[in-house]
Structure 1
C-alpha cells in the first residue's frame, strides 16, 4: 500500500489535474480498498478500464490493476513533460539567438559597421541568388551565410567565411562559351605556338575531332605529364585559344 501511495504522489507532482484534496486524503487513508478507489477515480483511463475496476471485487487484484494503470500514466506524463521541456528549450534558444542577433546589429550600426542603405549580409544573399549556383552548392552558400551573421566582423573567422563566400559567388556557374571545333584552326594555332611535339599535337587534334563528331559525349580527360619547362602549361593555353575558351591556371602544389 505504501508503494501505491508513493506512485500516487509522483503522479500528482507530474499532473496538474489531480487536486490537492485528493493528495491529502491519500496521505491520511489507511484502508487498501478506499485507497484503490480514490486513486482510480483520479486516473486518466478509459470507460472500459474503469468498468473493469468496478467489477473486480478482490481488493488485492484491484490494487495490482490500479498500480499498473498508475505506472502507465506516470510514464506518459514523464514523456509529455520531457517533450514540453525540449520544445521550450528550443524556443528559448531560438528567441535568445534572435535577441542577441538584434543586439549585435544595433551595436554594429552604432559603430558605423552597418548603414541604412547598405547591408553586407543582404548584398551577399542577393549575389548568391543571382549566381546561378547548382542546388547543392547554393545550400552550402546559404549555410555559410547564416554562419557569417553570427560571427563578429572583427574576428579572423569572419574574414575566412567571407572570402569563401566571395569565391563561391565569383565562380562562373552559369557562364558557358561555345567551343570552336575547327580542326584546321586548332592545328594552325598549335603549330604557331609549338615547334615539334608532333605526337602530342596529333593526340590533341584526335581528341578535338571526336568531340566535334559527338559533342554530347563525355570523353576522357587529357593529362599532360612531364618535368617543368617542357611546355605543358603553354600547350594548355594553346588548346584554350584554339577552342575560344578562357584559360585558367590553378596551382595545386
Structure 2
C-alpha cells in the first residue's frame, strides 16, 4: 500500500521564547515492511544540528531556535510504500539487546492488577508457543481497557488506565508492555501512523507495542485494534514508553507557557 502523510505540529507561546531546543524522531524506520519514497521535515528558520541513527535504530535529529520566537511550526510530509509482514519487524538494524526492554518506567510499571491480568491471560498456556502467549496478552489488554478517547491523558500510567477501564492507543500500548514485563517478555512502545480508513480505533498518529518473540524477533501488537501492524501502519520510532518514544521532545527557557496544536492526515494512494 502506498501511504501519504501530512503531520503538522504548531507551538505557540504566550510570551516569546528566548531559545528552545528539540530532538526529533520524525523519519520512518528502515525495515522490510516499509520503503520511504519521499520524506521532508520542514522546521522553518530553526538551526539543524546533529543527525544520527541511535542504538535502537531510530533516526534522531536536533534543532535549535534562537529567540525571541512566538511560534514554531514543524511540518512533515512524505510518502511510504508499505508491506504486510504480519507485524514482524525485519531488516531493522539496532544494537540494543532485547533484554534492555525489560526495564520498567513509571508509565509501564506493573502493579498487582496488571500482574494478575498477565497471569490470567496466560493461564493454561505454559506449553503454548511464545507467539500465542503474546497474542493472549494483547487480547487481555483489549478486553480490560475499552477504547474511549478523552478519559486519559499524556501522563496516565498503565496501572491507572487499567483501573479506570478506559483509554486510548497509548494506554493499550503501556498496559501491554506492563503485562508482558510481568511475564518476563521484553516489550517496547512504538510510535507511528495509521491509515484507519474509518474502520480502525485510533487517530492517524498512532501507537502500539512490540514484544520480543524468540525465533521471530520483535513483533508488533496493536491492542486497540486486536491485530498486528499491517500495510496500514507506518513505524516511526520506539522507546521504553510514550515519553521515551515521543517523535518530538524539547526544552526552552523557563517562564514560557506553550500551546500545542497537532494535525495528522494519512491517506492511501487511491484516496488522492
Q: TM-score range by the shorter chain?
A: under 0.3
Larger radius of gyration: 1
- Structure with the higher strand share, 1 or 2: 2
> TM-score, normalization: structure 2?
0.23
- Structure with the higher helix share, 1 or 2: 1
> TM-score, normalization: structure 1?
0.24
- Larger RCO, structure (CA 8 Å, separation 6 or more): 2
